[in-house]
Each structure stands twice: as structure tokens, then as C-alpha cells.
Amino acid sequence: MKFVCIGRNYVDHIKELSNDRPSEPVVFIKPDTALLDQNIFYYPRFSKDVHYELELVFRISKIGKNIESKYAHKYIDAYGLGIDFTARDVQAKLKEKGLPWEKAKAFNGSAFLSGLKPFDPILLDNPIYFHLEVNGQKVQDGDSSLMIWNVSELIEDVSTYFTLKTGDIIFTGTPAGVGPVQIGDKLAGFLGSEKLFELTIA
Ligand code: ZN
């Protein structure tokens, strides 16, 4: 499986990083080795500025290529939350030189997934609210209506380039409020009012 991740999909987050609003989705891939399948994130030694990015995630249920947005919901079977851990200092250097972001974005443990919930297409008719707390303080919140491209449009775009396979995970981009993590921090992710995960930085 792979993680297909979207950058710059929320206007407020684009502003906080002083990026330009893209004319089409910004896409990057994390390999399966990026999966963090435990509730501890070990701070990597190659960075001094790892940031959390809480994102809505959707799981692909069957193989597809060139999927039209109106059929995209048929390719999703679960959804939940993920953290796109980003070595912001490494990314800043790469961006400066116009180089690919993988060292900053796709390292081992950079893709944390909450437990996922069954997906119903009706969920796409209303905003899906989510937020992140660090040490009990709310630091990020957003909802799916604030996305520049919704998940159906994202699936259409990415499947133009990449075959989506069963079990692939779409990270739909982060809202504003990204920030650094420190060793000892406790992160908690909420979907609506339901706590979906707790995660410790070590
Ligand atoms: Zn992200």
C-alpha cells in the first residue's frame, strides 16, 4: 500500500506557511514503510523541527485508475484521522533548492493512522469536523468543507496519475495550526467529539 498525500488544500494553512495557492492539487507519496502502527512516535535524529499535521484520511477499497469524482465514493470504505509528520527544517532546505520532499515527509513513522471507521457516502454531504490537542490544548481544528478540493475531486486528480489500490490511504491535507512536537508531548485526535487516538512523542 501507499499513502497519497495532498499539500496546500486549506487556504488558512497556505497562508501560515506563506505558500502560493496552487492551481491543481499538490501531491506526494509516502511508501508503506512510513506507516506508524503504534502510539509512540520516536523523534528522528535528522531533524530538530518535526511538525504535526492532523488530516482527514480515507481508505481506498478497490483498484482504480482515472476515477471520475462522481464515482469516487464507491472507492472508499473507511475514514479517520492521520498525522502527516513533517521534518519542517529538512523540508525548508529542500523547498529552497526546488528538490523533492521525501526526506522531510516520507521517512519511517511519518504516517500515523488512527483506528478507521466505516465510510458511508452520506458523510460527504456535510462537513466532517476534526481537531488535535497537544497536552490537552486544542492546537488545530478544521472541517472538510474548508478544503480547496474535496476528497472526490482529489481521488479524480490523483488517479489520473497513479493507480489506486486496495488499502491505499489518501491524506487530504492539513488545516491551519501546524506546529512543532517535543519529546514528551501527548497528542490526541478527535473526529467530531470522539477521541480517535492518543499518541506520545518519545
Ligand atoms: Zn500534510
Residue with cell 495550526: 177
pTM surpassing 0.85? yes
What does the pLDDT read at residue 97?
Answer: 97
Q: How far is the CA of 120 from the centre of ligand 1 (A)?
A: 24
3-state secondary structure of 69: helix
Q: How far is the CA of 193 from the centre of ligand 1 (A)?
A: 22
Average pLDDT rounded to a whole number, residues 146-168: 97
Residue 138, pLDDT > 90, answer: yes
Q: Which residues contact 197 (CB under 8 A, 6 or more apart)?
A: 39, 81, 112, 114, 115, 187, 188, 189
Neighbours of ion ligand 1 (CB under 5 A): 53, 84, 174
The three cell numbers of residue 17 are 506557511
pLDDT in tens, 168-180: 999 999 999 999 9
Q: How far is the CA of 111 from the centre of ligand 1 (A)?
A: 10
Asked if 4 contacts 27 with a C-beta cutoff of 8 angstroms, the reply is: yes
Residue 17, pLDDT > 90, answer: no
Alpha carbons within 13 angstroms on the beta-carbon side of residue 102 total 7
pLDDT in tens, 21-44: 889 999 999 999 999 999 999 999
Domain count, the chain: 1
CA dihedral 51, 52, 57, 59 (to 10 degrees): 70
Residue 15, pLDDT > 90, answer: no
What does the pLDDT read at residue 14?
Answer: 81
pLDDT more than 70, % of the chain = 100
Q: How far is the CA of 190 from the centre of ligand 1 (A)?
A: 17
Q: How far is the CA of 147 from the centre of ligand 1 (A)?
A: 12
The three cell numbers of residue 23 are 492551481
Structural domain boundaries enclosing 76: 3-201
Q: How far is the CA of 55 from the centre of ligand 1 (A)?
A: 7
Q: Which residues contact 129 (CB under 8 A, 6 or more apart)?
A: 141, 142, 143, 191, 192
Residue 119, pLDDT > 90, answer: yes
Q: How far is the CA of 200 from the centre of ligand 1 (A)?
A: 19
Q: What is the CATH number of the domain that holds 63?
A: 3.90.850.10
Q: How far is the CA of 108 from the centre of ligand 1 (A)?
A: 15
